[in-house]
Amino acid sequence: MTQQQSYNGYQEQEPPLPSAVPQATENTEMVRVEQAVKRFGDLLVLNNVSMTVKRGQVVVIIGPSGSGKTTLLRCINHLEKIDSGYIYVDGQLVGYRLVKGQLVEAREAEIAKMRAQIGFVFQRFNLFAHMTALENIIEAPVHVLGIPRDEAIAQAMELLRKVGLEEKAHVYPHKLSGGQQQRVAIARALAMRPKLMLFDEATSALDPELVGEVLKVMRQLAEEGMTMVVVTHEMGFARDVADHVIFMDHGVIVEEGPPEQIFDDPQNERTRNFLGLIAAD
């Protein structure tokens, strides 16, 4: 955590300017979270969290419920606002603009534009209930990006093929299984050609026998080089696919490192306890 120390030193100065993302790292860093703090009332959900995700990297965040991992993910595309700190995606400040050293919340259009480049997959899928699978996928490309409908449909069919649901194109979500819905949701996010994908416990709401089909799609994406931040309880997936694993508890990053280190040789007591509980499960 040398990074954290250097930034602590940084904060002493007045005013606390964020480091404009250094030129040298601009091409390698996709996400940079600096000292993010988030409170829900009195509850400190994120307590000075800093992390980075490199381009093409798969970062998996694990930890007990209530540890702040989902909140952290939601802050990355500004579904939640942080109370202090900075979050950059691809070198751009998320949700805020810097005006004379002060952070000002960005305009709706700017936030929307940012979000359009970040795919988000929800635990509860959140497919648009009044639209077929195909309509779900073409909705944002057509109405946000302005892609011609025919083109969007062709692309959507391609994506449906990719997630193995070509024959479900004209089916409404309530007629699909959870696993199928989640795969459509992933296709819907991919249709925006995001540079970053965020997965919020994408398999937690699924029946056990349906988890595999969703993980398979996520695995495939990782292999294609997609930059991903994945919040999950699937330790097998984390071990196999992650380049970097972060263990969070009580709003702080307790331990992070390559999967072999976190799973086979955890340094922290709390990490060991958590993994022990999972294994005993």
Partner 1 sequence: MFDWDAVWKFIVSPFFLQAAWTTLWLSVVAQLAGVVLGLFLALMRMSRFKWLSFPVQVYVWFFRGSPLLVQVLLLWDGLPKLVPGLLFSQITCILIAFSLNEAAYMSEIIRAGISSVDPGQMEAARALGMRYWLAMRRIILPQAARVIIPPLGNEFNNMLKTTSIASVIGLEELTGTAEILGAPSFSIFELLIVATLYYLLLTTLWDYFQRWIERRLDPEYAAKGGRPGRRPGQKSWAQRVLGFGNPPLESGELIAGGHGGAR
For partner 1, what does the binding mask look like between residues 117 and 136, x meaning CB under 8 A?
xx-x-x-x-xxxxxxx----
Q: How many CA atoms lie within 13 A of 81 on its CB side?
A: 8
Site for partner 1 in 180-199 (CB under 8 A): 185, 188-189, 192
Q: Is 100 in the site for partner 1 (CB under 8 A)?
A: no
In this structure, are residues 275 and 238 in contact, taking their beta carbons and an 8 Å threshold? Answer: no
* Identity of residue 72: L
Q: Is 112 in the site for partner 1 (CB under 8 A)?
A: yes
Q: What gap in Å lies between CA 173 and CA 157, rounded to an integer?
A: 16
Nearer to partner 1, 205 or 275 (CB): 205
- CB under 8 A: which stretch of 43-51, 83-91, 116-124, 203-211 binds partner 1? 116-124
Using alpha carbons only, what angle is made at residue 258 by residues 24 and 261, rounded to the nearest 5 degrees? Answer: 145
Nearer to partner 1, 63 or 119 (CB): 119
Nearer to partner 1, 114 or 253 (CB): 114
In this structure, are residues 140 and 188 in contact, taking their beta carbons and an 8 Å threshold? Answer: yes
Site for partner 1 in 133-162 (CB under 8 A): 139-140, 143-145
What is the phi/psi pair of residue 54, to 5°?
-85, 155
Nearer to partner 1, 189 or 254 (CB): 189
- CB under 8 A: which stretch of 36-44, 49-57, 106-114, 237-245 binds partner 1? 106-114
Greatest pairwise CA separation for the chain in angstroms: 59
Q: Is 116 in the site for partner 1 (CB under 8 A)?
A: yes
Q: How many CA atoms lie within 13 A of 109 on its CB side?
A: 1
Site for partner 1 in 55-84 (CB under 8 A): 77, 79
Which residues touch 12 (CB under 8 Å, ≥6 apart)? none
Q: Which residue has the tokens 């193995």?
A: 164
Q: Which residues bind partner 1 (CB under 8 A)?
A: 77, 79, 108-109, 112-118, 120, 122, 124, 126-132, 139-140, 143-145, 170, 172-174, 185, 188-189, 192
